[in-house]
């Protein structure tokens, strides 16, 4: 029994992706990422000398500022900032530029569902544009659970409201490697961040994770192709 989605997509199909880098003049790195109608702009400044108080001076420090499309900054925005900061700290190499601060500013242009994953993807693209050293990229996806137990990827706002539960999942990207096939778990099978809303059973959660992970291959391929096109032009 297939679920009928309003815009005719299959359950595992993502919305059209678009990414442009180096779009803003002043920041040292910038990117805009859109998934369907959800669009987020990210800007990176840094690394700048000095760390914030209470931060370890032997590591690079990151600060995230989240600017909503309208309205005052409230608790939801602070939560997004914290999640983004922790995700960025785990993908960046912190020992290369100790005692520096890098600021990441996220500006929501339009929210049509799956906002936090879109922001994480935009922030990652902006960090790449700024040349911040990273261990690998992060690809983020939203998986939600419908009443009937079906997992649907990349919902828009209406679908998100109708679902019983959804999870924002962030995985490392699929990488090219000159190493021969390795035994055991490759790096892509790790998970960086998981934020869940609503009630779901453990089995349903693992089903979401599996479906989300399968989609990372297409997101990584999109990012790589996008980067190669802009580099090829130079």
Strands ordered across the beta sheet of 138-145: 151-153, 138-145, 165-172, 193-198
CA atoms within 13 A on the CB side of 39: 8
Q: How far is the CB of 224 from other proteins (least distance, A)?
A: 6
Site for other proteins contains 190 (CB under 8 A): no
Residues between 127 and 156 with contacts to other proteins, criterion CB under 8 A: 128-131, 133-137
Considering only 1, 199, 202, 233, the residue that binds other proteins (CB under 8 A) is: 233
Q: Are 12 and 215 in contact (CB under 8 A)?
A: yes
Q: Backbone dihedral region of 207: left (phi > 0), alpha (psi from -120 to 50 degrees) or beta?
A: alpha
Nearer to other proteins, 115 or 170 (CB): 170
Site for other proteins contains 8 (CB under 8 A): no
Cβ neighbours around 22 below 10 Å, total: 14
Site for other proteins contains 48 (CB under 8 A): yes
Q: What is the Cα–Cα distance from 133 to 44, expressed in whole angstroms?
A: 13
Residue 170 Cα to chain centre, angstroms: 6
Q: What is the size of the binding site for other proteins (CB under 8 A)?
A: 45
Site string for other proteins, 13-32 (x = CB under 8 A): ---------------xx---
CA atoms within 13 A on the CB side of 153: 25
Site for other proteins contains 177 (CB under 8 A): yes
Strands (E), 26-149: 29-35, 38-49, 61-67, 100-110, 138-145
Largest CA distance in the chain: 57
Site for other proteins contains 187 (CB under 8 A): yes
Site for other proteins contains 223 (CB under 8 A): yes
Site for other proteins contains 198 (CB under 8 A): no
Considering only 180, 183, 185, 202, the residue that binds other proteins (CB under 8 A) is: 180
Site for other proteins contains 191 (CB under 8 A): no
Nearer to other proteins, 8 or 232 (CB): 232
- Residues contributing to the site for other proteins (CB under 8 A): 12, 28-29, 46-49, 58, 93, 95-100, 128-131, 133-137, 172-181, 187, 214, 217, 223-224, 227-228, 231-234
């Amino acid at each position: 029994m297939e679920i009928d989605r309003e815009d005719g997509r299959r359950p595992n199909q993502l919305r059209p992706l678009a990414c442009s880098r180096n779009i803003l003049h002043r920041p040292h790195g910038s990117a805009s990422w859109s998934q369907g109608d959800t669009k987020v702009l990210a800007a990176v400044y840094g690394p700048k000398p000095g760390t914030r108080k209470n931060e370890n001076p032997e590591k690079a420090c990151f600060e995230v500022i989240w600017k909503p499309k309208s309205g005052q900054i409230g608790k939801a925005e602070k939560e997004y900032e914290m999640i983004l900061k922790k995700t960025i700290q785990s993908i960046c190499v912190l020992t290369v530029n100790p005692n520096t601060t890098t600021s990441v500013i996220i500006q929501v242009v339009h929210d049509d569902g799956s906002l936090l994953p879109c922001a994480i993807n935009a922030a990652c693209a902006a960090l790449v544009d700024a040349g911040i050293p990273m261990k690998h990229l992060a690809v983020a996806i939203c998986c939600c659970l419908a009443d009937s137990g079906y997992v649907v990827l990349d919902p828009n706002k209406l679908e998100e409201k109708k679902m019983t539960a959804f999870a924002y999942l962030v995985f490392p990207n699929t990488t090219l490697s000159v190493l021969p096939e390795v035994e055991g778990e490759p790096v892509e099978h790790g998970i960086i961040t998981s934020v869940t809303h609503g009630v779901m059973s453990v089995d349903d959660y693992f089903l979401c994770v599996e479906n989300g992970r399968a989609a990372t291959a297409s997101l990584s391929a999109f990012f790589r192709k996008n980067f190669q096109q802009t580099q090829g032009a130079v």
